[in-house]
Amino acid sequence: MARLTPDNVVRAQELVALYPEKRSALIPILHVLQEQDGYLSEDGMLHVGEIVGLEAVEVKGTASFYDMFHFEPVGKYLVAVCTNIACMLQGAYRLLEHAEEALGVAPGGTTADGMFTLEDAECLALCGNAPCLTVNWRFFGDVDPEGFDVLVDDLRAGRLEAEVPPHGTLSRVGRRQGLRALPPGGPGRDEAALAGEDGAGGDGMAAAHVAPGSAIDLSTRRSTAATAVVDAAHLESPK
């Protein structure tokens, strides 16, 4: 598949509606394209450029700055093994060598069945559970060679489909939708403008009204098998 599907064109137009300038929606729409095909094709980037009013070279030049975007097909599961200092001291290179042997590919390679692409990654920010890796940007920590084999078996068997979607899918939450025009006066927002007619935000959850100057909840929400084992004390603010 090359150009965006009709349904994804609608998604792209919804994203454009979130911004005062079309080009500001470029990165979110590129993620839609990568979710669709697993990578950014030349025709796909050309189509995205048409939507946001940019030349194809501008689209690719911007996308090439970000490691999360791929310009060639990758496996259904992109496995990135961290080899930075904390993971290195905990056996990351042994884990990476085992992953190469188990999958039969070197970093940058994709298995013959198209299931796995292996990467050697810089810090993945799960140092407390070193050595760690990500599969399609979902975290798995404290991974040893035996644990890697179990993980691969689970992925092949489809036992982790609820937790690890195919490469390119950032979120399974419902579509993000543009806000209605704010009422005259700018910052003085009302809940109808934020939530829409049905009182739900673009992700299907009730939109919360945030009063000017009020605190916003930025607490961590642990949702994957790896992050669930992190000691809760690590998430607490210093007394």
Q: What integer pLDDT is reported at residue 197 of this predicted model?
A: 39
Is 142:129 a contact under the CB 8 Å cutoff?
yes
pTM for the predicted model, two decimal places: 0.69
**Which band of pLDDT confidence, cut at 50, 70 and 90, is reported for residue 181?**
very low
Give pLDDT tens digits for 38-65: 999 999 999 999 999 999 999 999 999 9
Q: What integer pLDDT is reported at residue 208 of this predicted model?
A: 37
Q: What integer pLDDT is reported at residue 62 of this predicted model?
A: 96
Of 3.40.50, 1.25.40, 1.10.10, 1.10.1740, the CATH number of 6-63 is 1.10.10
Mean pLDDT, rounded, for 201-209: 37
Q: What integer pLDDT is reported at residue 225 of this predicted model?
A: 52
Q: What integer pLDDT is reported at residue 151 of this predicted model?
A: 97
* Residue ranges of the chain that CATH labels 3.40.30.10: 77-157
Name the percent of the chain lying above pLDDT 70.
Answer: 71
Flag whether pLDDT at 103 surpasses 70: yes
Flag whether pLDDT at 157 surpasses 50: yes
**Which band of pLDDT confidence, cut at 50, 70 and 90, is reported for residue 180?**
very low
**Which band of pLDDT confidence, cut at 50, 70 and 90, is reported for residue 171?**
confident
Give pLDDT tens digits for 115-137: 999 999 999 999 999 999 999 99
Q: What integer pLDDT is reported at residue 234 of this predicted model?
A: 47
Superfamily of domain 77-157: Glutaredoxin (3.40.30.10)
Q: What integer pLDDT is reported at residue 19 of this predicted model?
A: 95
* Residue ranges of the chain that CATH labels 1.10.10: 6-63
Which comes out higher in pLDDT, residue 150 or 189? Answer: 150
**Which band of pLDDT confidence, cut at 50, 70 and 90, is reported for residue 176?**
low
